[in-house]
Chains A and B, each alone.
Chain A
Amino acid sequence: MFGRVRSLFRVFTRRRDFEEGMSEELRFHIEQYTDDLVRSGMSREKAARVIRAELGSPLNIKADCREAFGVHFFDEFRRQLSYAVRLLRKTPAFTVTALLTLAVCFGANLTIFAVIDSVLLRPLPFPEPDRLMMIFNTYPKAGVDRDGSSLTNYYERRGRIPALASLSIYSYGTEIVGEPGSTERLQTMRVSADFFSTLGLGPAIGRTFTDEETTYETDQVAILSDAFWRQRYNADPGMIGKQIRVNSVPRTVIGVLPPSFRFLSSDARVFLPLASRPEERAPSRRHSGGNVIQMIARLQPDATLTQAQSEIDAQNAALEVDDPQAKMIADAGFRSLVVPLRADHVAAARPTLLLLEAGVLVLFLIGAVNLVNLLLIRASARIKELAVRQALGAGWRYLVSEVVVETTLLTFAGGLLGLAVGAGGIQLLRGLGADRLPLGSHTVFDARLALVGLVAAIVMGIVFALPVACFHLRRHLGNALQSESRGGTGGHGAQILRHSFLVSQIALAFVLLAGAGLLGLSLQRVMAVSPGFQSDHVLTGQILLPWADYSEAGRLKFAESLMDKLDHLPGVLSAGVVNNVPFSGNIGKSATTIAGHVRRPGESARGHYSYGVAGDYFRAMGFVLREGRFLAADDSRRSERVCVVDEDFARYYWPHASAIGQRLWDGSEAGKDAEGFTIVGVVGGVKQAGLTENEAQGAIYYPYAFRIGDSVFVAVRTSLPPESLALTLQKVVRQIDADVPVSDLRSMDIRIADSLVARRSPALLAGLFSGVALLLTSIGTYGVLSYAVAQRRREIGLRMALGAQPGQIRVQFLSLSLRLLIVGTVLGLIGAWQAGRAMRSLLFQVPPLNVAVLAGATCVTALVCLAACLLPSQRAARISPMETLAEE
């Protein structure tokens, strides 16, 4: 076998040597033989004749030799390739249509596949990633589905869960890094000492954190990402031991991560120890996760998820025995769930991606069916030629390989174009927010993708060749010659095949169109939802104040002086500060205790959105005042504690009475009387995380002094276009503190629009896909109808000669396409119904079977298909009887 390949290779590379050698060898043979014959007394002429008779034609011998040596295969391939190129160039309309169809279909599929590959398929870049788990607390009955894990959870579980080989915690954050004057705000992660060993991938140089470094005061160390080390420190090999400033505090660099280190979607540049004080790890803090700290674990090699889950359940149950809050926790439906890390991380993106993959596959199917149909029509046009060649002795193997070469050439070229379309498509998807998907920024157009595309192209070519080859081989030779010469209507079976392909194309396009319609309608309904505040003309930005530079009092002063400066700016109508604006992407709910509220049976403590506000936040955001008053600037400094709640909160606790004057405590237990807050106002409910949230969880707004966090958002209502105020806002902040940058500067309108990207982009893509599908379907309809007309020219000519009117002919073809259209639409309706059911979870206030969408899809499909048959029908009606009959 090896020898064969080697000799083939040798021949392929030294083809000319082979041919020359063969000629020389034969010449030598003839000359020697001639000499011998002449020596035996024959004349030269006679000798030449004898040799010719005995040897046969040198050309035939050479052909036989090539075949014997395995060279003929390449010759034949080359011949068939150039024949295919000639044929394709003879029919440019077909070739261009086919290539564009293939390019679009391959490109769209490669694009979506690239995203699916990076988000759903490619394993996480850690050893044995399947053993990595995420563990989080959930309190479903308190309205808190996900609360991260607490420090207490971590220190209680560490080393005590046998099914886990390693357990660690982390939190995301942003810190100000750099020397005064050249600071920048960077993504960071705080991690426990065993974080890197849980993942199985640690620093490339230096070391990881130690347990001692996860305690306050001894945590002044940092690990850098490879990218940060290269960009900021020029890949300084002596970086270990040097100091960098993080939030104005110097830290010693102890390690640099390898370039391949990427934790989920995080773009963290600096890793710090997740340090805590012993009291933060106390049992009383067990349920204070607040979705800030997350827990990951690596299973033991032989352990299962179920095992780990039951061990954690058992430990939780044992710990709750002497917990004073045990009843409340149990009422809230508390559990700590163990889920696979990767699946958990991409769970939200999965249904949309699968939907898009389905859409793009349908598009591919339409394109493929379209091409097969066009190829079959093309094959019918060549029936006579092939029949003649078969009659003249062309073997079926040869004809089949000719067809395969032609279709594969076509699909391969289409595949190459598709690679270009795919590369562009990935750029387009980035613009549509694909890099904001979990793991979506890993989406790349690489050699692996190109290989997948080209292999698929070759397979497609072979698949396309099958029906065409069958079509040619199944036909009886004589039959083909006869039917064509008499101008018959061609095989009935072939016609049924063509028509059913067209019907399925119409049906599939209909399904795509209806699906896109459902998504579009959902998007429209979502956009019609009011966020609960006036989102226009509001600019917001996030400001991070380092704890090292700002005490709680300092933070309050910062907020107040910022408000003071902003209020005096021209163009600013009102300005306010808040821990977290709606649609910022951060959500956290806190437990609240209401004075005098007796829980109904089965009711647990509820988590509510809790904010601290300063300045004129409510007016800046355009909140509606339902009752009482907004918070005032001096509420932060008054001894009497007051707060404002939203109407959802008020309605939940006091459905039949006013909330004004009621008292509550921030926390899961009633505190001292002086620490209680009196409700002084009720504002309208607002959407916190997204327009589609249907659960009104209720929100509480405290004066800023009572709820100070590490970052604040500033909100400014302006009479100008909000973006035009961005520079001014940054300048004002820098005037107060030159080292504090404003980040995430976006108007509220943009924040809301950005929150819709997960709906808008799929709707847009589905619209794009269905547009292409309709185009392909119209091409298919046009092709099939044109062929039907061309095939029946003589019949039409004859009928017109016998008195048929052009109108009758036109109606005949239009009614044929109408019949196909109706069957296709009915099938499409069934498909659309199923597709709607499958995508129910992605719809918003739209039933899977929406009459308007289906009616719209029917109209559009009908219009496009009928428009596509007008031209061929018209052509049929204009056939001249004289010409067609004279052709025979």
Chain B
Amino acid sequence: MSKTAELLPGTLDMLILKAVSLKPLHGYGVLLRIRQISNDALEIPQGSLYPALYRLEHHNLIASEWGQSENNRRAKFYTLTPAGRRRLRDETAGWNRLARAIAAALNTTSEEV
């Protein structure tokens, strides 16, 4: 547990959009993909995953379609919509700006003041 980090509020949506942007995924796949791309460093609250997916779909950022899973089960696959793609781009840029700013702030030494 020591190597996993709690998700910051609002970041789950961003991660879902990122995961879905790489390849259409079903809900469970989104969970696995986020674990994989974060090198198991992020713990996804599973109870929030589906409500988040439904919310994103309701806001037209992702779309869903029923299809076949790897082991031939019926599953609902999510894909990124154009609006979702724009949102992901904006959020990524915003996040990077924030992260850089915080990193810069935290790296400040006494000489630089």
Q: Which residues of A contact B (CB under 8 A)?
A: 3-4, 7, 21-22, 24-26, 28-29, 31-33, 54-56, 60-61, 64-70
Q: Is B10 an interface residue (CB 8 A)?
A: no
**Docked complex Cα distance between A4 and B51 (Å):** 16
Q: Is B26 an interface residue (CB 8 A)?
A: yes
B47 pairs with A56, CB closer than 8 A: yes
B69 / chain A contacts, CB cutoff of 8 Å = 28, 32
A54 / chain B contacts, CB cutoff of 8 Å = 46-47
A28-B73, A65-B51 are known; give 12 further A-B pairs, CB within 8 A: A4-B59, A7-B57, A22-B50, A26-B50, A28-B69, A28-B76, A29-B27, A61-B51, A64-B47, A65-B54, A66-B54, A69-B54
**Docked complex Cα distance between A21 and B93 (Å):** 34
B55 / chain A contacts, CB cutoff of 8 Å = 68-69
**Docked complex Cα distance between A28 and B25 (Å):** 13
B57 / chain A contacts, CB cutoff of 8 Å = 7, 69
B4 to chain A, nearest CB (A): 13
Q: Is B60 an interface residue (CB 8 A)?
A: yes
CB-nearest residue of chain A to B44 = A54
B104 to chain A, nearest CB (A): 36
A70 / chain B contacts, CB cutoff of 8 Å = 58
B54 pairs with A29, CB closer than 8 A: no
Name which of B31, B47, B50, B66 has the most chain A CB atoms within 10 A of its CB: B50
Q: Is B12 an interface residue (CB 8 A)?
A: no
9 nearest A-B residue pairs (beta carbon): A68-B55, A64-B51, A56-B47, A68-B54, A3-B60, A65-B54, A68-B51, A69-B54, A32-B28
B63 to chain A, nearest CB (A): 10
A64 pairs with B58, CB closer than 8 A: no
For this complex, 18 residue pairs linking A to B, each with C-beta atoms less than 8 Å apart, are: A3-B60, A4-B59, A7-B57, A7-B60, A22-B50, A24-B74, A25-B26, A25-B76, A29-B27, A29-B31, A33-B28, A60-B47, A61-B47, A61-B51, A64-B50, A65-B51, A65-B54, A69-B55
For the complex, would chain A's binding face be called helix, strand, loop or mixed by DSSP majority?
helix
Q: Is B98 an interface residue (CB 8 A)?
A: no
**Docked complex Cα distance between A849 and B59 (Å):** 67
B58 pairs with A56, CB closer than 8 A: no
Q: Contacts A21-B76, A67-B51, A69-B57; is A56 near B46 (CB within 8 Å)?
A: yes
Q: Is B52 an interface residue (CB 8 A)?
A: yes
A24 / chain B contacts, CB cutoff of 8 Å = 74, 76
Q: Contacts A4-B58, A54-B46; is A29 near B28 (CB within 8 Å)?
A: yes
**Docked complex Cα distance between A61 and B28 (Å):** 14
Q: Contacts A29-B28, A32-B28, A68-B52; is A55 near B46 (CB within 8 Å)?
A: yes
Q: Is B41 an interface residue (CB 8 A)?
A: no
B43-81 contacts to A, CB under 8 A, are 46-48, 50-55, 57-60, 66, 69, 73-76
Give per-residue flags for B72-109: 1 if the beta carbon is below 8 A from chain A beta carbons, else 0: 01111000000000000000000000000000000000
**Docked complex Cα distance between A66 and B76 (Å):** 16
A26 / chain B contacts, CB cutoff of 8 Å = 50
CB-nearest residue of chain B to A4 = B58
A64 / chain B contacts, CB cutoff of 8 Å = 47-48, 50-51
B28 / chain A contacts, CB cutoff of 8 Å = 28-29, 32-33
**Docked complex Cα distance between A172 and B28 (Å):** 85
Q: Contacts A25-B27, A56-B46, A61-B51; is A69 near B58 (CB within 8 Å)?
A: yes
B1-37 contacts to A, CB under 8 A, are 26-28, 31
Name which of A25, A64, A66 has the most chain B CB atoms within 10 A of its CB: A25
A4 / chain B contacts, CB cutoff of 8 Å = 58-60
A74 to chain B, nearest CB (A): 14
B67 to chain A, nearest CB (A): 12
CB-nearest residue of chain A to B70 = A32
CB-nearest residue of chain A to B56 = A68
**Docked complex Cα distance between A25 and B73 (Å):** 11
B31 / chain A contacts, CB cutoff of 8 Å = 29
**Docked complex Cα distance between A25 and B46 (Å):** 13
Q: Contacts A4-B58, A69-B57, A69-B58; is A61 near B50 (CB within 8 Å)?
A: yes
B111 to chain A, nearest CB (A): 47
**Docked complex Cα distance between A25 and B53 (Å):** 11
B27 / chain A contacts, CB cutoff of 8 Å = 25, 28-29
A67 / chain B contacts, CB cutoff of 8 Å = 51
B73 / chain A contacts, CB cutoff of 8 Å = 28, 31
B69 to chain A, nearest CB (A): 7
CB-nearest residue of chain B to A64 = B51
A46 to chain B, nearest CB (A): 17
**Docked complex Cα distance between A64 and B58 (Å):** 13
A28 / chain B contacts, CB cutoff of 8 Å = 26-28, 69, 73-76
**Docked complex Cα distance between A56 and B26 (Å):** 19
B34 to chain A, nearest CB (A): 14
